[in-house]
């Protein structure tokens, strides 16, 4: 498995992986744009046949230069439960471009146990804290079928 910075050629495969998962759907444009402008803080995992089997889209919020915010992380169903998401997160925080990062933040719905376990495992691996804070309440979302989003804040790192 190779863990790489994405190029614009990876956006379509990220979008397809999301289409086949429980993650929120976004336009293909959004993935291509992330691959172009935020490649330093995004990760793609490719198998021996160069097939994209996992990805992270993340960015450093302009008002929080010591945080990397993980917008989405996804692993192909065939590769889940093998530590791939954890490896991608570790790749992200070890990059030269992330040298000033002290916290990883992500929002997670209360029912997404796999994602919660993933971020708690990251905190354990770095022997640091995992704080859980309120973030986006369900009233903010249109319709009535979106759960609230809680912030998982892991750090300080190092």
Ligand X SMILES: CC(C)(COP(=O)(O)OP(=O)(O)OC[C@H]1O[C@@H](n2cnc3c(N)ncnc32)[C@H](O)[C@@H]1OP(=O)(O)O)[C@@H](O)C(=O)NCCC(=O)NCCS
Give the range of 8-16, 31-39, 111-119, 146-154 binding ligand X by CB under 6 A: 111-119
Site for ligand X in 121-140 (CB under 6 A): 121
78 contact partners, CB below 8 Å, separation of at least 6? 53
Selected from 115, 150, 154, 157, the binder of ligand X by CB under 6 A is 115
Instruction: Say how far apart CA 51 and CA 86 lie, in whole Å.
Output: 19
Site for ligand X in 6-35 (CB under 6 A): 21-23
Residue 150, classed as helix, strand or coil, is strand
Smallest distance from ligand X to CB 135, Å: 13
Selected from 67, 72, 103, 150, the binder of ligand X by CB under 6 A is 72
What strand order describes the sheet that includes 52-59?
Answer: 2-4, 43-46, 52-59, 67-75, 103-108, 149-155, 129-136
- The answer to whether the CB of 60 falls within 8 A of the CB of 41 is yes
Selected from 80, 95, 102, 146, the binder of ligand X by CB under 6 A is 80
The footprint of ligand X (CB under 6 A) covers: 21-23, 72-75, 80-86, 112-115, 117-118, 121
């Amino acid at each position: 498995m190779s863990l790489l910075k994405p190029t614009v050629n990876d956006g379509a495969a990220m979008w397809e992986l999301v289409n086949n998962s429980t993650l929120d759907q976004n336009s293909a444009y959004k993935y291509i744009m992330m691959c172009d402008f935020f490649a330093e803080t995004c990760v793609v995992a490719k198998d021996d046949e160069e097939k994209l089997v996992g990805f992270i889209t993340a960015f450093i919020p302009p008002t929080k230069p010591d945080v990397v915010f993980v917008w989405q992380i996804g692993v192909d169903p065939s590769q889940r439960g093998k530590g791939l998401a954890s490896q991608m997160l570790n790749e992200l925080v070890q990059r030269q471009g992330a040298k000033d990062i002290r916290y990883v933040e992500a929002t997670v719905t209360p029912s997404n146990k796999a994602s919660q376990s993933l971020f708690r495992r990251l905190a354990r691996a770095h022997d640091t804290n995992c704080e859980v804070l309120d973030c986006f309440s369900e009233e903010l979302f249109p319709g009535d079928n979106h759960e609230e989003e809680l912030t998982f804040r892991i750090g300080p790192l190092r």
